[in-house]
Amino acid sequence: MGRAGHAGPGPAGERDAVATTIKDVAAAAGVGIATVSRVFSGTGSVSAATRERVLAVAGDLDYRPSAVGRSLKTRRTGGLGLAVPDVSDPFCAEVVAGVLECARSLGQHVLLDATLGDPAREAEIADRFAEQRVDGVIAMPSGVADPWTGFGRTGVPLVYVGRVPSCRSWAGKVPAVLADDAAGIRSAAEYLVGLGHRRIGFLGAPAPGTPPDVREDAFRAALAALGVPVDEDLVARARPTRDSAYAAAAGLMQRRADLTAVLASGHLPGEAAVLVARELDLRVPADLSIAMVDDIAWAELADPPLTAVNRPARDLGYRACELAARGTARRGPAGPVLLPTELIVRGSCGPAPSRRDRARH
Amino acid sequence: MGRAGHAGPGPAGERDAVATTIKDVAAAAGVGIATVSRVFSGTGSVSAATRERVLAVAGDLDYRPSAVGRSLKTRRTGGLGLAVPDVSDPFCAEVVAGVLECARSLGQHVLLDATLGDPAREAEIADRFAEQRVDGVIAMPSGVADPWTGFGRTGVPLVYVGRVPSCRSWAGKVPAVLADDAAGIRSAAEYLVGLGHRRIGFLGAPAPGTPPDVREDAFRAALAALGVPVDEDLVARARPTRDSAYAAAAGLMQRRADLTAVLASGHLPGEAAVLVARELDLRVPADLSIAMVDDIAWAELADPPLTAVNRPARDLGYRACELAARGTARRGPAGPVLLPTELIVRGSCGPAPSRRDRARH
DNA sequence: CCCTTTTCTGGAAACGTTTCCATGATGTTC
DNA sequence: GAACATCATGGAAACGTTTCCAGAAAAGGG
C-alpha cells in the first residue's frame, strides 16, 4: 500500500517499473515485434529507416532485450557454471580470473559458486547449474566423489580444471585442463637433490581414496629415479586448511630434526613450513631449504623469497573455459590437457648443510 | 548430418538430449502440467498419492524444472550480479566469498564479473546484468564514473561494497556497505605517532576526481588532530597496480631518506613498501616502520610480520548481499553501513629511531 | 440423503523472446 | 512490360513455466 499510494512526485516515473518489452517498442515504433527482434538480434533484414526508428524508440524507452525470453526460445542461456573449492584461495582465484577473461571474450557470463570441499554442497551447486540451464560447466572438484558427471550425460559440456576427482570411475571420460604437477614436483625434487639434499620432507594432500595423489607419486618417482631412498616417515599429509597444514608441518619438522629440505605440495603447506621453521628458529636456507608448489604473490615477499613451482592458474582457467564454452569438450576422450609448470628459483633453497654444520648450530 | 545418422548404439539415449519438460512428466504420470508444477513449486495442494507418483516419474525421467521458464513467468531470476575490479586481489576475493556465502543461504545464485578498473568494461557488465534480469546488483566501483545507477531507477536493488564512486553525484542515494576506512587509518596513524614517529610517509590512491580519497583525508585529519604537521611531500599516490605502487613507494622512500615510518593505504602499496625497504637495505622496524591497510594472508608471513589494519572483507560482502537480495536496499537513503576495522599489531613497527641512530647506521 | 464447504485437479492464458511463413512492395532481366 | 528473384514486414506459433479459474470429487453437517 505504502508504495502504490505514494507515487506522486517521483521525477521520472520509476516506482515499480515493469521493464519495457519488445511489444512496447514495437507499438511505439509502429512496427511488428518480429521487426524489433530482427533489429536487436541482427538476423534477417530490416530497412535502414526502420532500424533507425526502432533503435531511437528503444533508446527512449530504455529497452533492453530480456535474456530470459531469449533463452527460453533459443535454448541457450549464454551462461557457464564455475565451481571452485574456495574463491579466496589465491590459486582458485587466479583460475576464476582466467575463466572470466575467456568467458568475456566469448560473450558468455559466469555463474560462480564455492564448494568449500563439501560433497553435499558440490551436489547442490551442480543441481543449481542444471536448473539454470548453463551452457557449460567448469569444475575444480574437491573430493573423491563426483556429482558432476551428470552433465556429460545431458549434453552439457563439462570440463574439470586444476584437478580431477580421485575416484577411479573417472578414467578420462571427462575433459580436463591440468597443470603438469608431476613434472613440477619432479623439477623441484631434482633441484633439491642437485643441491645435495637427501633427507627431504614432503608435505602433501591427504589420500582418502585409494590412489595416493599425483604429486606424492611424482615425488617418490623423482627421488627413486635419482637414486635417493624414499623414507616414508618423511611424507606428511594434511587436509587443505591452514590448521591442518600447520599441524602436519610442525609434526614432521619436530619429529625429524635431521631433514635438510622441505617440499610443500601447495601454498598452504608452504606457508606452514615457513611459519614452523621460524618457530623452530631454523635459518632458511642455511639450516633448512624450503620449496613449494604454487608461485603466489607472497612467495616473493617472504624472507628469503621462496623458490616455487609455478602452475599457470590463469591459463588453466582460460583453456577450461574455452573447452566448456565451445563444446569442443564433447569430441572424443582426448585425455586431459596438460599445461607446463616452471620452477622459479629464489633464495629459499641452499646447499644441504653437512652434519657438522648442523651440529655446531 | 553426421550426428543424426550415427545415433545407433548409444547406451542410454543421450545423443542431443533435449531436456525433459514439465509436459513429459505430466504425460508420463497421467496428470496435468499444473499439478506437476504444484508438486515442484510447493504451492497449492496436491494429494499425497499424486505427489508420490509425480515425484517417482520425475525421478525416472531425470526431470529438473527449468529456471528459464520459471523466471519468465515469475519475473524473478534468483540471480545476483556481482562486479569487482579483480577477483584475484585478496581483498576482492574475500568480498566475493562473503557474497557467495550469503547468496547461498538466501537461495540465490551469483553472476560474477571483473571490471579491471575499466569504465567501459564496467558499463558492459552492467548492461549484461540488466539483460540477464538479475534480482539485485552488488558493485565495487573502480573509478569515478558510475555506470551502475541505472539499476536503482529500474527498481533493481543496487548496493555498493567496499568503495563508492568518487563522483559527487552519488551523494548517498545508493546504499553501500563500507569498511570504516577513516577510523582504520586513524588508528594506524595514532599508533605510529604514539611510537614517536613524526615523518610518516603515506602511500595512497590516486585522486583523479575532486575529492582526494577518504583515506588520505583521514590521514591528514589524524595527524592534524595529534598536532603533527602534515608534510605534503610525504604523501604519494599510485594507481592500484603492482608497478605503480612500487614506483610510488620507491620514489617516496628514496626522495625522503628521513622518513621513519610508512603507512600504506592498501596491500599493494604495502607490498611495495616492503620490497623497497629491502632493496634500500632498511631494517624493519629498526630503520623504518611499516604499517598497511588490509590484513591479508602474507602480512603474517613477512619478516617481520606486518602490522595491518584489518577490513572485514567477508562481512562486507555478506552484508552487501543481504541488502541486495532482500531489496531492503530501496527503503530510504539510510546512509552507508560502516563496518569497524581493527588494528592488528605485529612486528613491523617500532619506536622512531633518533637522529643519531639513523646517522650511525 | 441433500446441501455446503473443502480439497484436488486440469485447461488455458500469460511471461518476452525467436523464427517460420505468407504477403506486399521493390528491383532485375530479357 | 511480363515474369521472376529479392527484400521488408507482420502474424502466429513455439519455448517451459506459474497461476487463475472453474469444475469434480471428497468430506462434513444437519
Q: Give me the CATH number covering residue B117.
A: 3.40.50.2300
Residue A114 domain-assigned (yes or no): yes
CA B240 to each of CA A98, B116, B245: distance values in angstroms, whole numbers, following the listed order: 19, 10, 7
Ranking B58-62, B300-304, B332-336, B342-346 by mean pLDDT, the lowest is B332-336
Q: Determine which helix (DSSP H) or strand (DSSP E) holds B213, and give its type and residue range.
A: none
Residue among A12, A111, A153 minimizing CB distance to B109 = A111
Neighbouring residues of B194: CB distance < 8 A, sequence distance ≥ 6: none
Output the nine-digit C-alpha cell for B23: 509436459
Residue B8 domain-assigned (yes or no): no
Residue A1 domain-assigned (yes or no): no
Q: Is the CB of B265 under 7 A from strand C?
A: no
Residues 82-121 of A with CB under 8 A from B: 86-88, 90, 93-94, 96-97, 100-101, 104, 109-114
Residue B153 has a pLDDT of 80
Calculate Rg over the CA atoms of chain A: 27
- Spatial distance between the Cα atoms of B301 and A302, rounded to a whole number of angstroms: 6
Output the nine-digit C-alpha cell for B263: 603507512
SS3 B293: strand
Chain B within 8 Å of A278 (Cβ-Cβ)? yes
Residue B4 has a pLDDT of 35
- Spatial distance between the Cα atoms of A133 and A117, rounded to a whole number of angstroms: 23
My answer on whether B171 and B274 are in the same domain is no
Output the nine-digit C-alpha cell for B42: 510447493
Ranking A84-88, A127-131, B33-37, B227-231 by mean pLDDT, the lowest is B227-231
Ranking A71-75, A315-319, B204-208 by mean pLDDT, the lowest is B204-208
SS3 B196: coil
My answer on whether B229 and B322 are in the same domain is no
Neighbour-count burial of A234, counting CB atoms closer than 10 A to its CB (0-12 exposed, 13-18 middle, 19+ buried):
buried
State yes or no: pLDDT of A165 exceeds 90: no
| pLDDT, tens only, B63-72 | 999 999 999 9
CB contact under 8 A, B88 and A86: no
Q: Determine which helix (DSSP H) or strand (DSSP E) holds B24, and give its type and residue range.
A: helix B22-29
- The residue type of B37 is S
Q: Residues by CB within 7 Å of nucleic chain D, which ones?
A: A 30-35, 38, 44-47, 49-51, 69, 72-73, 75; B 18-19, 21-23, 33-34, 37-38, 40-41, 43-44, 63-66, 68-70, 72-74
Q: What residues of chain A lie within 8 A of the CB of B93, using their CB?
A: 87-88, 90, 93
| pLDDT, tens only, A302-356 | 889 999 999 999 999 999 999 999 876 455 556 789 999 999 999 999 998 876 5
Residue A271 domain-assigned (yes or no): yes
Residue B36 has a pLDDT of 96
State yes or no: pLDDT of A11 exceeds 60: no
Residue B15 has a pLDDT of 44
Q: What is the DSSP letter of B224?
A: H
Q: Are B161 and B322 in contact (CB under 8 A)?
A: no
Pairing of strands A109-114, B109-114: antiparallel
- Show the CA angle centred on residue A286, arms to residues A291 and B304, nearest 5°: 75
Average pLDDT on B224-248 reads 93
Residues 182-241 of A with CB under 8 A from B: none
SS3 B99: helix
- Spatial distance between the Cα atoms of A33 and A274, rounded to a whole number of angstroms: 65
Neighbour-count burial of B77, counting CB atoms closer than 10 A to its CB (0-12 exposed, 13-18 middle, 19+ buried):
buried
- Spatial distance between the Cα atoms of A312 and A310, rounded to a whole number of angstroms: 6
Dihedral in degrees, nearest 10, Cα atoms B266, B269, B274, B280: -160
Residue A168 has a pLDDT of 61
My answer on whether A298 and A259 are in the same domain is yes
Q: What residues of chain A lie within 8 A of the CB of B17, using their CB?
A: 153-155
Residue B193 domain-assigned (yes or no): yes
Tell me which range, A40-54, A145-159, B200-214, B346-360, is most confidently predicted by mean pLDDT.
A40-54
Q: What residues of chain B lie within 8 A of the CB of A71, using their CB?
A: 68
CB contact under 8 A, B67 and A94: no
My answer on whether B149 and B224 are in the same domain is no
Residue A96 domain-assigned (yes or no): yes
Which residue's entry shows cell 592500484? Answer: B240
Neighbours of B283 (CB within 10 A): 13
Output the nine-digit C-alpha cell for B268: 599493494
E runs forming strands in B31-108: 79-84
For residue B51, give how far its alpha carbon lies from the nearest alpha carbon of chain A (Å): 20
Q: CA of A49 and C1' of C18: distance in angstroms?
A: 22
Strand D nucleotides, any atom under 7 Å from protein beta carbons: they are 7-12, 14-20
B206: cis peptide before it, omega within 30°?
no
Nearest nt (C1') to A35 (CA)? D9
The pLDDT confidence band at residue B271, using thresholds 50, 70 and 90, is: very high
For residue A254, give how far its alpha carbon lies from the nearest alpha carbon of chain B (Å): 20
State yes or no: pLDDT of A75 exceeds 50: yes
Chain B within 8 Å of A128 (Cβ-Cβ)? yes
My answer on whether B253 and B292 are in the same domain is yes
Pairing of strands B307-310, B342-344: antiparallel
The tally of domains found in chain A comes to 3
The 10 Å CB-count burial string (b at 16+, else e) for B32-69 is: eeebbbbbbeeeeebeeebbebbbebbeeeebbbbbbb
Per-state percent for chain B, helix, strand, coil, to nearest 5: 45, 15, 40
Beta-bridged to residue B121, according to DSSP, are: none
Neighbour-count burial of A209, counting CB atoms closer than 10 A to its CB (0-12 exposed, 13-18 middle, 19+ buried):
middle
Chain B within 8 Å of A4 (Cβ-Cβ)? no
CB contact under 8 A, B17 and A302: no
Q: CA of A44 and C1' of D6: distance in angstroms?
A: 13
Mean pLDDT of chain B: 88
- Spatial distance between the Cα atoms of A236 and A253, rounded to a whole number of angstroms: 10
Q: If we measure between CA atoms, which residue out of A286, A190, A114 comes closest to residue B97?
A: A114
My answer on whether A85 and A50 are in the same domain is no
Best probe of the B interface among A73, A112, A121, by most B CBs < 10 A, is A112
Average pLDDT on B89-106 reads 98
Q: If we measure between CA atoms, which residue out of B286, B291, B255 comes closest to residue B273?
A: B291
Residue B32 has a pLDDT of 94
The 10 Å CB-count burial string (b at 16+, else e) for B176-193 is: bbbbbbbbbbbbbbebbb
- Spatial distance between the Cα atoms of A83 and A94, rounded to a whole number of angstroms: 13
Average pLDDT on B231-260 reads 93
Nearest nt (C1') to A49 (CA)? D8
My answer on whether A306 and A331 are in the same domain is no
Q: Determine which helix (DSSP H) or strand (DSSP E) holds B200, and give its type and residue range.
A: strand B200-204
- Spatial distance between the Cα atoms of B136 and B329, rounded to a whole number of angstroms: 9
My answer on whether B288 and B233 are in the same domain is yes
What spatial distance separates the first Cα and last Cα of chain A, rounded to whole Å? 80
My answer on whether B126 and B53 are in the same domain is no
My answer on whether B351 and B331 are in the same domain is no
Which residue's entry shows cell 552492467? Answer: B126
Mean pLDDT of chain A: 88
Q: Which has more pLDDT, B25 or B355?
A: B25
- Spatial distance between the Cα atoms of B147 and A17, rounded to a whole number of angstroms: 19
CB contact under 8 A, B77 and A68: yes
Residues 52-81 of A with CB under 8 A from B: 62, 64-69, 71-72, 77, 79
% of chain B surpassing 90 pLDDT = 73
Ranking A18-27, A213-222, A328-337 by mean pLDDT, the lowest is A328-337
- Spatial distance between the Cα atoms of B227 and B193, rounded to a whole number of angstroms: 10
Dihedral sign, CA of A99, A105, A106, A111? positive
My answer on whether B216 and B255 are in the same domain is yes
- SS3 annotation, chain A: CHHHHCCCCCCCCCCCCCCCCHHHHHHHHCCCHHHHHHHHHCCCCCCHHHHHHHHHHHHHHCCCCCHHHHHHHHCCCCEEEEEECCCCCHHHHHHHHHHHHHHHHHCCEEEEEECCCCHHHHHHHHHHHHHCCCCEEEECCCCCCCCCCHHHHHCCCEEEECCCCCCCCCCCCCCEEEECHHHHHHHHHHHHHHCCCCCEEEEECCCCCCCCCHHHHHHHHHHHHCCCCCCHHHEEECCCCHHHHHHHHHHHHHHCCCCCEEEECCHHHHHHHHHHHHHCCCCCCCCCEEEEECCCCHHHHCCCCCEEEECCHHHHHHHHHHHHHHCHHHCCCCCCEEECCEEECCCCCCCCCCHHHHHHC
Enclosing domain of residue A37: 14-65
Distance of CA A180 to the CA centre of its chain: 15
Residue B4 domain-assigned (yes or no): no
Residue A210 has a pLDDT of 54
- The residue type of B329 is A
Residue B7 domain-assigned (yes or no): no
- Spatial distance between the Cα atoms of B282 and B273, rounded to a whole number of angstroms: 11
My answer on whether A42 and A110 are in the same domain is no
The pLDDT confidence band at residue A213, using thresholds 50, 70 and 90, is: confident
